[in-house]
Amino acid sequence: MPKPFVENAHCMKYRKDDLDGIRKARFASFVLLIICFAVVLFQLIGIFFYVSASNSRCIIRPTHIETNVGIFAKEITTLEISRITDLALKQNLIERLLGIGTIHVTSNDPDIPELIIYQIPKVKKVYNYLKQITSSANNSRK
């Protein structure tokens, strides 16, 4: 193997082909680093959403809706069914494929004017059940 041409003790001269190879290797390692960073970032985001979803509970009873939310500190809210004024069901394409959805509950409760319940499995059944108990609560109130 021939020795590289040495101009002085601190500087080595490389051929143009060698420099192109070094640049390509540096660029490839930079791209690989960015891809690894993106994968780790998406994993952390996924873990956050999984932990937050697994630490959120919504219990729908015939008289009220109770939500328990929080990872370290729990916040429990209760909304009476008779105070519900409007219900809305929202699903995007991915949620429809996964069989989940979001229900927006509007109420005349001053503490909880709007309650949004995310990632509900079998959302159509839950929505229809809420509509049924809300209408029966409103009819019995009249």
pLDDT digits (tens, 9 = 90+) for 32-57: 999 999 999 999 988 887 887 777 88
Give the DSSP per-residue string, 40-99.
HHHHHHHHHHHHHHHTEEEEE-SSEEEEEE-SSS-EEEEEEGGGEEEEEEE--HHHHHHT
| Average pLDDT taken over every residue of the chain | 85
HSE-up (13 A, CA, CB side) for residue 1: 1
- Residue 5 in this model has a pLDDT that exceeds 60: no
Domain range 57-141, CATH class: mainly beta
CA 123/CA 91 separation, integer angstroms = 9
Q: Which of these, 49, 52, 120, lies nearest to 87 by C-alpha position? A: 120
Q: What is the mean pLDDT of residues 54-67?
A: 89
Q: Which of these, 76, 45, 70, lies nearest to 55 by C-alpha position? A: 70
pLDDT digits (tens, 9 = 90+) for 119-129: 889 999 999 99
CA 90/CA 112 separation, integer angstroms = 20
